[in-house]
Amino acid sequence: MRSTENETAVLGVLAPIRAELTAFVGDAVAGLSVPEIGGARIFEFGDVEAVGIVTGQGARRSVATLERVLDSRRTDKLLIVGVAGGIQAGQSAGDVLVASGAGPLFAYPTPANSRMVEALAESLPKAGTQVRVGPLAAVDALSRQDEKRRLGEAGFIGVDMETHALLAGAHRAGVPAVGLRVVLDPLGQDIPHSVAALAAAQGGRLWPEILGLARWPVELRAIRQFRRDLGTALRTLRGAAEAAVNAVNEVA
């Protein structure tokens, strides 16, 4: 495990996009910026300090950010947070997934830190948040119905583009890490093409302009549903934050 010489290492909270990090930290007290990690800030969850970091969307951006995080030597454990695609029948927007590992189809998942997984699985239900534990599938682009169904049949519980890359990088560096994701688009629903296209054009950030797409006549019903599901997912992420931070912070 890494440690620092001049600074006390704290928990690193990694989120692909700003909206996910903002939802997670909520009204946590923001402290000093961490310039060596580019835009990262220290947040205080009660007595726990955490460095909040936006990695960027996709594996390539996430790995580049993770390298800066590890080089800064400011974190000694990592909590990966954000939304994910639901791929199991019966899942709904807002369902909480704890990643026991992550990887692509037909490959053995890179494991998360088992003690951190156990801490989340035990602590979140006590705080009123029900969770499902299992591996997350790694993909290079937003998954659509056919692919989501195949991944679910293979035993994955959710799908995203960053958790595997971040877990693998942390594992190589000897830094314990775990993923906490909330279902955004359940099986049977897709993120609207217009929303996905605009998000990609703007670097994957869910800016307010994306939420204003409900004015567009194309995909109107799907966009409205997306807005509702996004609100549900982000509220759930916020509701799980304090318990999650305290749980993983206590893992030695």
**Rounded-to-integer distance, Cα 101 and Cα 27, Å:** 29
Residue 1 domain-assigned (yes or no): no
Per-residue pLDDT of the chain (252 residues; tens, 9 = 90+): 344 444 667 999 999 999 999 999 999 999 999 988 988 999 999 999 999 999 999 999 999 999 999 999 999 999 999 999 999 999 999 999 999 999 999 999 999 999 999 999 999 999 999 999 999 999 998 888 999 999 999 999 999 999 999 999 999 999 999 999 999 999 988 888 766 655 554 444 444 445 555 555 566 788 888 889 999 999 999 999 999 999 999 997
Residue 4 domain-assigned (yes or no): no
- What domain count does the chain have? 1
DSSP one-letter code for 215: G
**Rounded-to-integer distance, Cα 105 and Cα 155, Å:** 10
Residue 3 domain-assigned (yes or no): no
What tens digit of pLDDT does each residue of 67-76 get?
A: 999 999 999 9
> Coil, strand, or helix at residue 33?
strand
Q: Which CATH number covers residue 221? A: 3.40.50.1580
In three-state form (DSSP H/G/I as H, E/B as E, the rest C), the secondary structure along 160-190 is ECCHHHHHHHHHHHCCCEEEEEEEEECCCCC
Provide the domain limits for residue 155.
10-249
Instruction: Give whole-number Cα distances, 168 to 75, 103, 204, 214, 234, in Å.
Output: 16, 9, 22, 37, 25
The first and second tokens of residue 240, run together, are 């799980």
What tens digit of pLDDT does each residue of 180-207 get?
A: 999 999 998 888 876 665 555 444 444 4
pLDDT at 220: 79
Bridge partners of residue 104, in order along the sequence: none
Instruction: Give whole-number Cα distances, 125 to 122, 133, 176, 179, 244, in Å.
Output: 6, 12, 22, 16, 11
pLDDT at 224: 84
What is the number of alpha carbons within 13 Å of residue 106 lying toward its C-beta? 1
**Rounded-to-integer distance, Cα 19 and Cα 203, Å:** 13
Residue 196 domain-assigned (yes or no): yes
Residue 145 domain-assigned (yes or no): yes
State how beta strands 75-86 and 48-54 pair.
unpaired
- The DSSP result for 79-121, as a single string, is EEEEEEEE-STT--TT-EEEEEEEE-TTSPPEEPPHHHHHHHH
Residue 189 domain-assigned (yes or no): yes
Residue 115 domain-assigned (yes or no): yes
Residue 104 domain-assigned (yes or no): yes
Bridge partners of residue 179, in order along the sequence: 80, 99
pTM of the model: 0.89
